[in-house]
Amino acid sequence: MRTRTETRTRQVPHTVDGKTHLVDEAYEIHLPVPPRDWDHTVRTGVLGAACLILTGSVVWSTASIGALLDLLVIAPAAYAAAVTFDLVWISCMALEWLARYDPPRAQAPRAAGHIALGVAMAAVAMHGYAEEQLPIGITGAVVSGMAKGLWTVLLAQTTPRLSPQAMQWAQAERAELGSRLGMIPLRRELARAEGLVEAEEASLRTTPDTDPGPPEDGAEVPEGASQLPASGPMTMADAVRTAVSCGITEPNAVIRYVRKVADANAKEDSILRTLRMARRPA
């Protein structure tokens, strides 16, 4: 078994003139060296080769398609458009990799990647045809196909395989979390719409009646509290503020009062939220 030597330090007592202190002492140990991981080495080598091939494919396609488009437009615009041909199928391949644990979701980027690759290869071949060098154009187009094929095989080899049961469990978890994430903007939209409705209703109501009246049946009025107006119309927020100003802060009493003088269908959550805001110190 192969070993490697490693130098470490430890503290040992050292005495001088009868006084002892701990000092550092260096020592060596021999640690076993694990065998070389040839699988990882080969995988790294293939990944490097795939990156080089992909780079060469992008350079060739960009130069070929750019030269073809340069026949009609200026060079900067031609080569800027040419580079998108390969970037589209490369991006689709990356999206397919991200959806590797969700086969139905990976179908769309896989199909789009194949279509984009076919368009790029056809454009390279057309450049060869335009220059009366069709064999060279076809050969250049094959380079993009080989790069795509190599990356497809490489990603398939490095993707862990899940059992059908594990994949169904992952899809169920993903669906549940996706539903929770999707409800966040929906709740925000509903809250915004509710605020708009309340503002619209408030703008259509007349000035609340300020004549005092007896509190609603069953509502407990604290000692020394002012009498609550018994009739509206008034907005929900005005009704809550009126109740608080009169010393009525018990939630159920406030809810009954708001539904009596403002809106019989007022939501309890909205009333309580307005009550908390009204009771908040300025």
In one-letter notation, the amino acid at residue 53 is I
Angle between helical axes of 103-130 and 134-158 (0-180°, round to 10): 160
Residues, the chain: 282
178-216 residue pLDDT tens? 888 888 988 888 888 888 888 888 777 654 444 444 444
pLDDT-derived band of residue 132, with 50, 70 and 90 as boundaries?
confident
61-111 residue pLDDT tens? 999 999 999 888 898 899 999 999 999 999 999 999 988 888 888 899 999
Q: Return the closest-CA partner of residue 213 out of 226, 228, 232, 225.
A: 228
Whole-model pTM: value is: 0.56
